[in-house]
Structure 1
């Protein structure tokens, strides 16, 4: 008889992608997987073949939302033998506890002693392993470092997304200029526009509604000289559609963002531009990914002693780590 397991998903797209090897490991030993996820990450789990069911949790960012979590837990009572809690927050562990799931696995986290009964010690600040290994450790298995996330589109998803945009597979590039964390992770809009103007195929700009301003700026600059070359879809697609378009693209260029990890998990050729963050911790895990990070470029002078600063905005006011990555450099890898 299969073990029925509930996985409580992280709330960020990139982190959700990083949990795929955990799903694969759990499914390989016979666990039937249901994922509870917030609506903005649920599409990532619909692209994981080992996940049997995705339940969208109707919760908002912030706040414990006790009543809503209790109500959700009531609907899940008696359905599961085990739960794996990926986030470290107290609220993420409430549903498995209230649902009466007998085995509840997660990191020690935020005051969760009574909520979890199988706890892993949280690595100290600065010593956390790469995120894939961090999440895969919840399985209790060894040999986690070699895992790479892999996603697979549901049947018909690519055809539907391409038809909606009148596109052909491999007939366009995707640029993802956003990075929700802050401007110190965003390659300049003018650089994205210069790159888009030099590409031989049409360009799609993908992102959330929060990226609408920068994407509109890029599209306007490109289309003023080459009408129709650049299509701004920021905030105009569902995440399911955006995932399908990325999977169907000839190549993608992005900042260090959740969509970067989506492209890597589909094996799409990509260039990932890093600024304030570090590819040593959250790189795109794909043999077809090129990472550009001036911190580890010995030819770049003067050296970037300030990187990685992990700041939302450049503390020194110059953002050299991004400004000095030229569009021609990115183009050379496409």
Structure 2
């Protein structure tokens, strides 16, 4: 590293979807400073994403539990980074605790929004006008620009790499034949809550239609989604490959890269599918596709925009979940060019 090379430490988000969108910032930084070194510090579970981003040089797993302050531990961890020679820190989260580490690391320029009254901890405070920066990805990218620089009209889209050999190894481990037909990936989970989840029976209906026309159907999800993926597989008489809770995030990414089409709720895996360039059908209920849309230009967003939407609630406050239930299987099946029995 030459004396003039920028070395940037990014304090990354904890959510999978947000970390995918953060890649747009990394791309903007590389466009602006081609020789810059970008290291990202984030919770360990996000590191498989960073390993699939060509712009990221170093991945630093933060050892802190979600939500804990761990004041002195953060100070000590920050101090351990002083010798790394970072010229700038960009903090993508708004909490007080996230700003402690770059301050303790004595990084000269610490860029972020004010957040939780972080005067001093953040010394390059950027104004946040939510009417101008409506999308999460725009807010991330803005932190990589100069103070007076406008957001680019066309933001670079996330593009994750993948490892086909790793995917084939997972298939072999689970005794699943290498597919010879089209693959439909279904992502029925959404960690935020029920109001972001298209009904299980709807996913199963589309899965049955795809299976009847020769597709393979793969079910993706974390351990928290096992009940959902298992229910879909049961309804389809166990004709799907159920990866729910059986794969690590990196393995799920590599397997999803083999899919032709993915149907997903507004979730981290939705953003993964978009970043893999998959044909994506993204289903929105209580959340806002204008705030956190899939960034691939060919993604199809299914959103009804009812009078009660978006409510941003974990459960439907009106008890009917119409924002999701009124997105029909017939409509979604038509996007796959398969027939619906609805």
Q: What TM-score do the two structures reach when normalised by structure 2?
A: 0.89
Distance 1:283 1:33, change over 3 A: same
Q: Aligned match of 1:47 in 49, 52, 57? A: 52
Aligned to 1:117: 123
TM superposition shift of 1:139: 1.1
TM superposition shift of 1:54: 0.8
Does the 8 A contact of 2:42 with 2:62 survive in 1? yes
TM superposition shift of 1:163: 2.9
Q: How does 1:171-190 map to 2 (within 5 A)?
A: 171-190=182-201
TM superposition shift of 1:164: 1.4
Q: Aligned match of 2:230 in 200, 216, 224? A: 216
Give the secondary structure class of the aligned counterpart of 2:115: coil
Give the secondary structure class of the aligned counterpart of 2:117: coil
TM superposition shift of 1:27: 2.0
Aligned to 2:333: 331
Aligned to 1:318: 320
Does the 8 A contact of 2:141 with 2:151 survive in 1? no
TM superposition shift of 1:231: 1.9
Unmatched segments (≥5 aa) in structure 2:
337-342
Tell me how far apart the structure 2 counterparts of residues 306 and 148 of structure 1 sit (CA, whole Å): 32
Aligned to 1:299: none
Tell me how far apart the structure 2 counterparts of residues 260 and 170 of structure 1 sit (CA, whole Å): 22
Distance 1:183 1:248, change over 3 A: same
Q: How does 1:127-138 map to 2 (within 5 A)?
A: 128-138=133-143
**CA-to-partner distance for each residue in 1:192-233, whole Å, 9 max, x for gaps?**
11111111322111111111111111111112xxx4x21221
TM superposition shift of 1:247: 2.0
Q: What TM-score do the two structures reach when normalised by structure 1?
A: 0.91
Moved more, 279-288 or 108-117: 279-288
Distance 1:98 1:266, change over 3 A: same
Give the secondary structure class of the aligned counterpart of 1:121: coil
1:32 has 2:42 as partner:
no
TM superposition shift of 1:168: 4.3
Q: How does 1:2-151 map to 2 (within 5 A)?
A: 2-28=5-31, 29=33, 30-79=35-84, 80-123=86-129, 128-140=133-145, 141-151=149-159
Distance 1:212 1:294, change over 3 A: same
TM superposition shift of 1:147: 0.7
Tell me how far apart the structure 2 counterparts of residues 39 and 241 of structure 1 sit (CA, whole Å): 15
Residue correspondences, number: 319
Tell me how far apart the structure 2 counterparts of residues 11 and 159 of structure 1 sit (CA, whole Å): 28
Tell me how far apart the structure 2 counterparts of residues 202 and 4 of structure 1 sit (CA, whole Å): 45
Tell me how far apart the structure 2 counterparts of residues 16 and 109 of structure 1 sit (CA, whole Å): 19
Distance 1:169 1:311, change over 3 A: farther
TM superposition shift of 1:128: 4.4
TM superposition shift of 1:75: 2.2
1:280 has 2:290 as partner:
yes
